[in-house]
Structure 1
């Protein structure tokens, strides 16, 4: 088993080439050993569950991945722990000889209690799939080795489709703060925003049509827990605004930012207040242009990343 720790950045399609060019330039100009552009991959992931979503409810994802239509990999991911804007989860992988699940391999996985009797095994169906192109860069900074990928494609299911357009920074070794530092370097040049919505969540969202929010902490006197909560609410509403193409969600976006401001040290609170002033100015523009205008702002991503870095440093 491996623990996968990654930072995901959403990026609108019109800025994807700028992100790719920026990463290419970093590798071209670098003399650092191990820093390089890797071959582009064509990936297909088929996700399986029961009709009543037994695996999803138990916090597990099961998929088969096809790489360039040549190799097949079976993967199990568990929900893992919350990392405040990052994704941390258990992951098991096995190479397969064909495009067919091998459930005997799951004996290596500590299955959640509701799934341990394997009664669900004969009821599995393919519930959604993802097809996307993946560009890959190996990046080495002073204390961190990471894999940075740029994914573009679609999530499809019987219930509809959703776009995949994102960057992922996965920690390979070293200091996880390096993920935030490098992401900030990207965000200062290309408009990106932090995302907490995985491809698997995009697939299940197509069926259930629900936006998943974090649970509000029971201990509301703990400012760090409240800050983490309002930070993730902010990220969820921001992504939902683009998924639903609904400018009206700017109101809860700004509300979550204002609540977060109350829980932050003065320097970060000031950055958030300045960003809110920028957002308020955007609201006087033509409503039909609002989402495009917001997506072009590098300040959104940089503030999200600075707050996320601080929160993770306090919590872990």
Structure 2
């Protein structure tokens, strides 16, 4: 398969997208175009081209994607199904590789695959598989990286620094894979540099495997005067609340917390990746010292959720 030169990034103004854009720029081997809504006023580095489009128009998207080698989507949950016309336009424009907005826990795990929060992602997976069979010149890669490490620390999802009674999900001892936003961007760049090895498959990557209790131990080093009394939260109770919210038609992040916690901390849900592609993608694992620095930074910046 030929090399990737021209890359389109969708969702580049978001928390993840901005860091993926940074990593792609740092790779210094891609011509990058950002796709943005016509109403978007987001600003991007001068080295990046910006194309404003109507995401609902396959014809307009096709024109914007002509001459592009790869499309990387980092859209949020609400925009996942908008990737369907983007996939169709990519094929019509001759795009070689499509990386959808996956970037989370192992939705391919048999237990996680049953969770309602992943059904739209799974629908995108199926669409990509079907299109790749019909159009052999078109391919895809799914990137799974567990929970976001730096983002989750600052927002106190991994550990509630500002609470005297932080929640420990099912006891706080479950190891889980986690990855910084910038490392996700490096994984994207790595996939685009290893097309044959990553063709039509899932790629797993993480910075490290941690536990909530481990994070609290580090936090105590930086705030020895702080007394935390963790409270064990039964994930089954959170799942029940998420089911109630979904039944009412509420599908935002807060409504999905129970399902997401189940995928990360639940036994048998694949939250701890057993095999990763870090070596293939040229991504070293982070150390305990790296984690300490991330926790220190998060504690200095995080406030109440």
What TM-score, normalized to structure 2? 0.30
What TM-score, normalized to structure 1? 0.29
More strand by share: 1
